[in-house]
Structure 1
Amino acid sequence: MTGMDPRMRWARIATLSSLGTISLTSLVLPGIGLFREPCAVWIVLGALGILAFTVAQAVALYAAVTPRFSEQVRKRAAAGFVATAVLSAFLVAPVGAGGWATWAWLGGSLLGSAPIVLRPVAAAVTAVGTVGAAVWIAWWVGASVTAYLVITVSVGLIVIAMCWLQVWLWDLLVQAEAGREALAGLAAAEERLRFARDVHDLLGHRLSVIALKAELAARLAPADAEAAAAEAEEVRSLAASALTEVREAVHGYRAVNLRDQLAAIERTLRSSGVRCEVAQPDSDLPPEVAAQLLPVLREASTNMLRHSKAGWCRIEVSRQEHEVRMTVTNDGAAGTRPDRHSCGLRGLADRLAESGGTLRTRAEGEQFVLEATVAVR
């Protein structure tokens, strides 16, 4: 699966390998009965039944551990598997009945697969039906009921012991990854809400005053044109002032406390499962420098959560005589590339360049490094 964390990819390979043993059991052990069947018709029918059962089982197992498949696809695959299992009872049961419990091996594989591909209630009903079918088939073909039951139940328990725990752990990994992505989305949404609150606080009072002044100017216009003009001029001044403040907020030129922002981002990353280490300078930075670094810090942390599989990161802010440097390093960047439509970092680089700063990024193996420098005037 493209873009999957390598750890998740290896866990999925291990899970599929474990499940592959079930399909191999369904194909090989019942296949022995084909060599013990003297009737050519039953050999052909039995081979078709075994092959259909194995293919349907493989599809259902694969769908069960593939997150991109919808629940409807999984249900259809499971239903096809159960239907093929019922059909196999009539096609495979008579094969090699004289010396080999051919269908009992399929029954055991069905019994072990049911908890993986079916919901608990359906799996329980299938298990009871499988045991009952083993008893009926043994009676039908004149074989030992005890032998059929022992093979069916023992193979089913072995399959469950081998594969069910592996699939359960895989489901936990998938849920954990989904939770990580949700946290990343929440972090980005929280940052947007924070900015929206800032803009609301910035404009709310000014716009209220502008509305009142405009209303007053409208009332004064018929009676006192000079006073109305003065109020209109004040409205214009207030609007210009509000526009300037909005531009400063958007471009990050408002005074900010970089230490508080670093602590907040550190908490966000840690809550998302990223081990975070922050190194700050001994003294506070000038407000204009902190205002230029803060948008870069927010963009870097958001990209880290949304576009990488980071397990750790280090944020270091160091101050030299005429320059402040911020370095953000994280792992989990192997195989990931920035969206070609993304212009966040590019826009920040252009903005820093206007004031003599720089913004550079580079990949070092699985590590992604972002360096931003701001001149201290």
Structure 2
Amino acid sequence: MQQRLDRVRVVTFAVLITNASAALFLPAVGLWREPEPARQAVGALGIALFSAAQVAVLYTLVTPWIGARARRWARLGLAGAAAASLPLVYPVGGGWPTWSWLAACIVGLVPVLTGPVLAAGLSAVTIALALLVTPGPPADTLIITAGFGAGLAAINVLHVWLWDMLLQAEQGRAAQARLITAEERLRFARDVHDLLGHNLSIIALKAELAERLAAVDSARAGREAAEVRRLAAATLVELRAAVYGYRQAGLREQLAAIERVLDSSGVRCTVTVPDGDLPAQTVLAAVVREATTNVLRHSRARWCTLTIEHAAGVVRLTITNDGVPAGAAPDAHSDGLRGLADRLAESGGVLRTRAGDGEFTVEAAVPSTS
């Protein structure tokens, strides 16, 4: 999804720049018509400053990681370049409405930089200045600044709005994935709380009783202390069983949850699982968790497939995803993958990884008796 978002961002920026450059080409006609070299140079400076400031502002519009301070400086730079362009550019052109075309660019930009009321006010001021300083019929100037500027504004507003909508959709998918993960953690936390709360309360009461009896009835105090030890050991066993069950129970449920997380993150996920019971659930669940975490953390995947096959006494799990950067290769020193390989080896299994053609594959094979 991130890769598609980057492509859309580049395309949106290119469209905005192309839209802006169409208006800047016509002021260049005024430079070509200007007979005085000094005015021509000054006019070129004004157009260059405005063009650079315009590109900087458009870049901030489609770059979400730029901070508010940089955005503010870019807009102040555009305001300064626009103000400076008036005395630098309007005398240039020998009767050509050079500055009117720059004024059209300003009218086309302000709606995407500020609110509608302020944008309307700035546009009106810009059009009035163009009518004041531009030679020739006022109707022509009005068509250039108001008409052409409104067309530029419509294109800019549309593309910036589409980009903002796509960005918000991506942020929503990321938030949904985080929410699913948080809900699963809360569920496990509630299970652990329910398990430990009762037993720890009893242990605390019996430990307090043993403390009080120590001075008056040492034999009973000893029995209570032994009961505390037994309860603590039993609680530890239950806790380990709960954690083990949490990691093991319901490989199918874990696969379904992982499919939801990947789908909500913009990764099209396909899960293929055979009917019937799945042997080696514990170790396979660990592989699934680690591999899908890597999909979200280390790739820009658009799709991911998880396939489990059970044949000839071997359970084979294959996880493949795209979005792997060119030249990437499995990290032999990855703690997660190395830990999985060691764990599989203890069960008589094997872990293999491979990368190529923009795809990454994790294969785990475990004897079905594990």
Shift of 1:85: 0.9
Deviation at 1:254, TM superposition (A): 6.7
User: Separation in 2 of the partners of 1:255 and 1:150?
Assistant: 71
Partner of 1:362: 354
Separation in 2, partners of 1:187, 1:342: 26
Counterpart of 1:28 in structure 2 is 25
Computed over aligned residues only, the root mean square deviation of the Cα atoms, in angstroms, reads: 2.8
Structure 1 residue 67, shift from structure 2 partner: 1.6
Shift in Å, 1:280:
2.0
Q: Does 1:78 align with 2:71?
A: no
Work out which of the residue numbers 292, 300, 307 in structure 2 matches 1:301: 292
Alpha-carbon distance, 1:328 to partner: 2.1
* SS of equivalent residue, structure 2 residue 277: coil
Between the aligned partners of 1:145 and 1:16, the Cα distance in structure 2 is: 33
The change in CA–CA distance for 1:312 and 1:83 in structure 2 (over 3 A counts) is same
Counterpart of 2:140 (choices 113, 138, 147) is 147
- Distance in 1, matches of 2:333 and 2:194, equals 31
Determine which of 344, 360, 374 is the counterpart of 2:336. Answer: 344
Q: Is the 8 A contact 1:181 1:306 kept in 2?
A: no
CA distance in 1, matches of 2:186, 2:324: 27
The residue that corresponds to 1:229 in the other structure is 222
In the alignment, what sits opposite 1:48? 45
Question: Paired residue for 2:186?
Answer: 193
Q: Distance in 1 between matches of 2:264 and 2:19?
A: 39
* Aligned residue type for 2:236: L
Contact 1:43 1:95 in 2 (8 A): yes
- Report deviation, 1:55: 1.1
Could you tell me how far 1:252 is from its partner in structure 2?
6.1
List runs of 5+ in structure 2 lacking aligned partners: none
Shift of residue 56, structure 1, vs aligned partner: 0.9
The 1:259/1:9 distance shift into structure 2, 3 A limit, reads: closer
Quick check: 1:204 aligned with 2:197? Answer: yes
Tell me if structure 1 keeps the 8 A contact 2:247–2:285.
Answer: no
Q: Does 1:324 align with 2:320?
A: no
Q: Secondary structure at the match of 1:281?
A: coil
Question: Pick from 240, 265, 270: which aligns with 1:272?
Answer: 265
C-alpha distance in 2, partners of 1:20/1:278? 43
How far apart, CA to CA, are the structure 2 residues paired with 1:164 and 1:68? Answer: 20
Q: 2:3 aligns with which of 3, 6, 10?
A: 6
Secondary structure at the residue paired with 2:266?
coil
| 1:256 alignment partner in structure 2 | 249
Measured in 1, the distance between the counterparts of 2:120 and 2:288 equals: 53
Shift of 1:103: 0.3
Gaps of 5+ in 1: none
> Aligned pair in 2 of structure 1 residues 151, 254: CA closer, same or farther (>3 Å)?
closer
Q: Say whether the 8 Å CA contact 2:174–2:264 is kept in structure 1.
A: no
Matched to 1:120, the amino acid is: P
Per the TM alignment, residue 245 of structure 1 is displaced from its structure 2 partner at its CA by 4.1
| Contact 1:252/1:292 (<8 A) preserved | no
Question: What letter is aligned with 1:219?
Answer: R
CA distance in 1, matches of 2:365, 2:278: 13
Correspondences of 1:130-141 after superposition (within 5 Å): 130-138=126-134
1:215 aligns with 2:212: no
**How many residue pairs are counted as aligned between the two chains?**
368
**2:104 counterpart of 1:117:** no
Match of 2:281 in 1: 290
Q: Which stretch of structure 1 is more off in the superposition, 340-349 or 197-206?
A: 340-349
2:366 & 2:109 partners in 1: Cα distance? 61
Cα contact 1:26–1:50 (8 A) shared by 2: no
Matched letter for residue 366 of structure 1: G
Shift of 1:340: 9.6
CA contact (8 A) 1:107 1:134 kept: yes
The code of the aligned residue for 2:132 comes to: W
Residues in 1 aligned to 2:73 and 2:246: alpha-carbon distance in whole angstroms:
57
Native 8 Å contact 1:333 1:367 kept in 2: yes
Task: State the AA in 1 paired with 2:33.
Answer: R
Distance 1:154 1:328, change over 3 A: same
Q: In structure 2, how many angstroms separate the alpha carbons of the residues matched to 1:119 and 1:338?
A: 50
Shift of 1:42: 2.7
Residue 214 of structure 1 deviates from its aligned partner by 0.9
Q: Which amino acid aligns with 2:300?
A: K
CA offset at residue 163 of structure 1? 4.0
Structure 1 stretch 186-195 or stretch 340-349: which is displaced more? Answer: 340-349
Q: Match of 1:47, SS? A: helix
1:107 Cα deviation from its structure 2 partner: 0.7
Task: Choose 209-218 or 154-163, whichever is displaced more.
Answer: 154-163
Structure 2 contact 344–350 (Cα < 8 Å) conserved: yes
Contact 2:26 2:101 in 1 (8 A): yes
In the superposition, the TM-score normalised over structure 1's length comes to 0.86
The TM-score, its normalising length taken from structure 2, stands at: 0.87
